[in-house]
Amino acid sequence: MISGMIMVFVAIWIYQSAIKAKLDNVIIWVAVSAAAFFLLVFLFQYININILESFRASEGGAAYEAINGADRKNQGDFTGFGGILKSLYEELSPSIFSFLIVAVLRLKFITKEAFSVANLFGGLKEVFVNIKESFKSPQ
């Protein structure tokens, strides 16, 4: 759910950046960026699942699953402060890493600006301002 909402913002951001850079095939850039974001999120979620399963394997592997019940139950895995941090990492890291990779690709291929933090995230404020303005009714 979080990744889907971020993907919509990324698509709007790429669209506005491609328009500002005066590219010819704007919709293709938006589609490729959204697809790349989706595939990267899928890849990072797969990696996170394997990391989680490796922690479980170190706790007893198949015997752990047989004793404690079904596959991927959260009993005991996400309790306490460490569990909260693990849960936040598992949920947010695919979206954050995918966003950063798409931002680098945007900087390299769409805007073609020098690499800096300001250029990497440039245009994000305008995305949210334009979204806010779109909800205002004309008078």
Query: How many other CB atoms are there within 10 angstroms of residue 130's CB atom?
Result: 11
Digit-coded pLDDT (tens) for 60-82: 555 555 555 545 555 556 677 88
CA distance 41 to 45: 6
CA distance 113 to 127: 19
Query: How many other CB atoms are there within 10 angstroms of residue 8's CB atom?
Result: 13
CA distance 6 to 94: 11
- Token readout for 126 is 């305008």
Per-residue pLDDT 10s for the chain (139 aa) are 889 999 999 999 999 999 999 999 999 999 999 999 999 999 999 998 888 777 766 555 555 555 555 455 555 566 778 878 888 888 999 999 999 999 999 999 999 999 999 999 999 999 999 899 989 887 7
CA distance 65 to 48: 18
Q: Which residue carries 């306490």 as its tokens?
A: 80
Query: How many other CB atoms are there within 10 angstroms of residue 63's CB atom?
Result: 9
- Token readout for 128 is 């949210």
